[in-house]
Amino acid sequence: MNSNLNSTEKNNHQTNQTNPRYKSPKLILENIFAFSPNRDTLGGTSYLLIHPKGNILIDCPLWNEFNQKFCLEKGGVKYLFLTNRDGISKHISQIKKELDCDLIIQEQEGYLLPHQNPITFVQDYQIYDDCQLIWTSGYSPGSSCLYYDGNGGVLFSGRHLLPIGNNQVTALKLKKTFHHPRQLRNVKLLSHRFSKENLNYICPGANTGYLRGKGFIDNAYTSMSILN
């Protein structure tokens, strides 16, 4: 093994050696891991945000012993935030039980989690001082984003903003889109809310093949503001 690998890379390499069937989540920013696309959530990408007050899992990764062990070895998960209805895996009950975490979802989609007692919110919801949920209805009624102000500002955009290549994002109008004009209005509101100084990265919840292994959109505010 290359002696220049840092400890995180070494651990990931060793895990892959003992679990050849699974691809290890990739460290894309200082404290953010991206999971491989999950066929159970229409190819959605899940992220693990490592946080001193308790880690946050964004949307459901493919659930198996490997990813469960990975999450637990990174300190467990305090919250599983679901950015939209398509981020809900058929294994959601198992994930909640095995990680012993709280679920968070915008109130209009809380009914999709019967018997799970999720935390619901209306407009904005402050998880920690540096982690805020923002309701961005459009792709689905309860579509929401998570803004983390570490690393120069990171927006976990779910399916509200998706990559289309060349480090660009857009609010795609898809067959499953609930209300595209509302989605576009919420993109504009985000561009007014943020700036180049506090939004460096977007971590989208799908279409991550367009990121070509990078794992994020950088110069995120510029990319988003082009849409207005």
Reported as a single tens digit per residue, the pLDDT across 44-80 is 999 999 999 999 999 999 999 999 999 999 999 999 9
- CA triplet 135, 138, 139: central angle to 5 degrees? 105
Per DSSP, the chain holds a count of helices (H) and strands (E) of 5, 15
More confidently predicted of 125 and 211:
125
Give the Cα separation of 65 and 74 in Å (integer): 14
The structure tokens listed for 134 are 């923002």
> Please, which pLDDT band fits residue 122 given cuts at 50, 70 and 90?
very high
Distant-in-sequence, close-in-space partners of 47: CB < 8 Å, separation ≥ 6: 32, 33, 34, 35, 57, 58, 59, 156, 203
> Please, which pLDDT band fits residue 6 given cuts at 50, 70 and 90?
very low
Q: What is the tens place of the pLDDT at every residue in 72-99?
A: 999 999 999 999 999 999 999 999 999 9
Give the Cα separation of 148 and 196 in Å (integer): 14
pLDDT of residue 13: 46
pLDDT of residue 224: 87
Is residue 35 within 8 A of residue 48, CB to CB? The reply is yes
Other CB atoms within 10 A of residue 61 CB: 30
Q: What is the tens place of the pLDDT at every residue in 129-181?
A: 999 999 999 999 999 999 999 999 999 999 999 999 888 999 999 998 999 99
Is residue 142 within 8 A of residue 107, CB to CB? The reply is yes
What domains are there in the chain, each with its CATH number?
A: 7-225 (3.60.15.10)
pLDDT of residue 87: 95
Amino acid at 104: I
Residue 12 pLDDT > 50: no
Residue 125 pLDDT > 60: yes
pLDDT of residue 14: 46
Give the Cα separation of 213 and 139 in Å (integer): 25
Give the mean pLDDT of 13-33: 75
> Please, which pLDDT band fits residue 19 given cuts at 50, 70 and 90?
low
- CA triplet 169, 175, 181: central angle to 5 degrees? 60
pLDDT of residue 23: 84
Give the Cα separation of 119 and 125 in Å (integer): 10
Mean pLDDT over the full length of the chain? 91
The structure tokens listed for 115 are 């018997």
